[in-house]
Structure 1
């Protein structure tokens, strides 16, 4: 582990445990709130998915026509099973040569999408039936859902791994395990399920993604999607409860610890203030006592108020009270106020 990584680990640990774990408690509380919000969105998506009809491509027209005749909105949330085909093939009358398709550089397979960065317009057809009326255009505009891509090329070039591979992957910008070179495509003829909003555009059925749903094009059928969303809902539910309970416990502990520290600091401050008051009272009493009936020959030569109590070393003059002697010692070049000789310190004189 490099010194930079050690510093980062130390910084994160100190930050998490600062304020007696309050930062860690807030982080857990934030994660719990995020889990609850995701659970709410996941539950809403599950309800919509359960209510969506499961259709084939050939059934879309009858569904949209019946909705139109009933006076309802044509936008319907549906689950459609179909086979991927290039849009240009449908519009060109299913020519043998497939225009407007992509070709994989590694496998040579025809596809409508390569790594999501290269796509061509494509449609879903009903199990290979080549009728112009039995296809639905897939609208990827505005969709951020992953595509059900198929890996056609995969090569991992290993690199030297160290005992700190995990930390390098977590905090560094390196590839500690290896360099992965792969190619994924959405090939022609692949059976997929499309979950989205279906509507007519220029008399042709078209389907686009629904932002509230985690699926758009998928290899999972409706039942598998429901099972997966149900499992995610359970995980989010229990993670929210566990993380929320932990955050409440840690924040409560941190609050009590800091509250006790504040009370202890307040008590110490009050005790210190009381000691200061007592000290000031004692000093004032000593000052009054020293000012009572002091002969002129024993008054401090500086303040002319208190009795002479301190002797300067090395000259030995007893000419100042203790307070003025301390003030003289604090000067940059302390000198006796009588003989002007440099002094090292002063000694208080006590009368028996």
Structure 2
């Protein structure tokens, strides 16, 4: 680990431990809240998928959607083969030349990391922000398509369900990679300049193409309705799946595993945040008590010193010759030692010198240089 990385880690550790761990506790609590929200979303989606009926495509119109009004829809799970409608079109990507209904073409510029001629490096930056530096260009194309029942796929007049993909483009789709090629970047003068002064330079272009081919069997989970005599299915915002290679049982198993993991992560983060915040609150209360005790002790100290100044006590302070060297104030060497510092407990100063020490920006014991919390007035027996 480089020196800059070590300093960054130390700074992050100091920030996390600030306020007796309260900052770390609040951060952990925020992560627990985020994990709880994800757990509730996953468990809610699991419950809705478990309650959704799995209906064959030919039975949708006359069983699930029978009796629904205009614009009404129901959640259902259907499984079928991808097929282009009779009046529809299909795509032929240049990379694969296969017939498909969805095509996704991605080009990613990959960068190499090195220390550079001046030895500059920042490994944490490369670890967390490398994906931000990689330039990615994505083109997404699709045409209207439908799903047909696998048992009657050869019948062109079979019932089909039209897939509305407009609102689900950002979701994970069951695409198949058909083209994957790494193209080296031609070096030029600008690349040489990046190599000399920087710690990252382009090395290759990753060209990738994924498609949803015609004839692939997939599962669709969404809201079904009848629109212009056609059965349509659209994505449900509360469910993270719309089109998938998995069956309904496999989707439920994956969501159940995700929900269990999120539950225990939420429990662990919540317990840790409660412990950290409880420790920070306890330490804060202890500091408040210590501050209150110190203030009361200081008030008693000043009150006792004022009584000595107005009374007859301490008349031997003006005669240092009658006292030994071990009884004289180490600062003024003129008066008797009467002020003890807490918490070190050294009795080395008179009351006046102790007050001057107290007024310093950083009150320290003259002997051990330890921080002074408050002072006590000591009386001879």
TM-score if structure 1 supplies the norm length? Answer: 0.65
The answer on whether the counterparts of 1:197 and 1:210 sit within 8 Å (CA) in structure 2 is yes
User: Which of 193, 217, 220 matches 2:243?
Assistant: 217
Secondary structure class of the residue paired with 2:17: helix
Aligned counterparts of 2:274 and 2:96: Cα–Cα separation in 1: 55
Q: Which residue of 2 aligns with 1:129?
A: 154
The offset of 1:28, in angstroms, is 1.9
Q: How many residue pairs get matched?
A: 265
Q: Which residue of 2 aligns with 1:85?
A: 83
User: Which of 209, 222, 241 matches 2:267?
Assistant: 241
Superimposed CA distance per residue, residues 314-341 of structure 1 (whole angstroms, 9 cap, x where no aligned partner): xxxxxxxxxxxxxxxxxxxxxxxxxxxx
The answer on whether the counterparts of 1:154 and 1:180 sit within 8 Å (CA) in structure 2 is yes
Aligned counterparts of 1:221 and 1:199: Cα–Cα separation in 2: 22
Superimposed CA distance per residue, residues 285-323 of structure 1 (whole angstroms, 9 cap, x where no aligned partner): 79xx9xxxxxxxxxxxxxxxxxxxxxxxxxxxxxxxxxx
Superimposed CA distance per residue, residues 103-122 of structure 1 (whole angstroms, 9 cap, x where no aligned partner): 23322222222227222222
The 5 Å alignment of 1:1-352 reads: 5-68=5-68, 74-87=72-85, 90-91=86-87, 100-115=89-104, 117-127=140-150, 128-132=153-157, 134-143=159-168, 144-155=170-181, 180-279=206-305
Aligned counterparts of 2:53 and 2:274: Cα–Cα separation in 1: 43
Aligned counterparts of 1:65 and 1:261: Cα–Cα separation in 2: 68
The offset of 1:12, in angstroms, is 2.3
Aligned counterparts of 2:42 and 2:160: Cα–Cα separation in 1: 30
Aligned counterparts of 1:148 and 1:197: Cα–Cα separation in 2: 19
The offset of 1:140, in angstroms, is 1.7
Aligned counterparts of 1:178 and 1:282: Cα–Cα separation in 2: 86
Secondary structure class of the residue paired with 1:186: strand
Aligned counterparts of 1:217 and 1:201: Cα–Cα separation in 2: 20
The answer on whether the counterparts of 1:145 and 1:214 sit within 8 Å (CA) in structure 2 is yes
Superimposed CA distance per residue, residues 74-118 of structure 1 (whole angstroms, 9 cap, x where no aligned partner): 41111111112234xx216xxxxxxx3222332222222222722
The answer on whether the counterparts of 1:75 and 1:198 sit within 8 Å (CA) in structure 2 is yes
RMSD: 3.4
The offset of 1:13, in angstroms, is 1.9
The answer on whether the counterparts of 1:82 and 1:124 sit within 8 Å (CA) in structure 2 is yes
- Kindly tell me: are residues 151 and 215 of structure 1, through their superposed partners in 2, closer, same or farther at Cα, counting changes over 3 Å? same
Secondary structure class of the residue paired with 1:66: coil
The answer on whether the counterparts of 1:33 and 1:240 sit within 8 Å (CA) in structure 2 is yes
- Kindly tell me: are residues 32 and 284 of structure 1, through their superposed partners in 2, closer, same or farther at Cα, counting changes over 3 Å? same
The offset of 1:212, in angstroms, is 1.0
Aligned counterparts of 2:220 and 2:265: Cα–Cα separation in 1: 30
The offset of 1:14, in angstroms, is 1.9
Aligned counterparts of 1:37 and 1:200: Cα–Cα separation in 2: 34
The offset of 1:237, in angstroms, is 1.9
Aligned counterparts of 2:295 and 2:20: Cα–Cα separation in 1: 22
- Kindly tell me: are residues 154 and 21 of structure 1, through their superposed partners in 2, closer, same or farther at Cα, counting changes over 3 Å? farther
The answer on whether the counterparts of 1:67 and 1:74 sit within 8 Å (CA) in structure 2 is no
The offset of 1:6, in angstroms, is 4.3
Moved more, 108-117 or 198-207: 108-117
- Kindly tell me: are residues 15 and 138 of structure 1, through their superposed partners in 2, closer, same or farther at Cα, counting changes over 3 Å? same
Secondary structure class of the residue paired with 1:211: coil
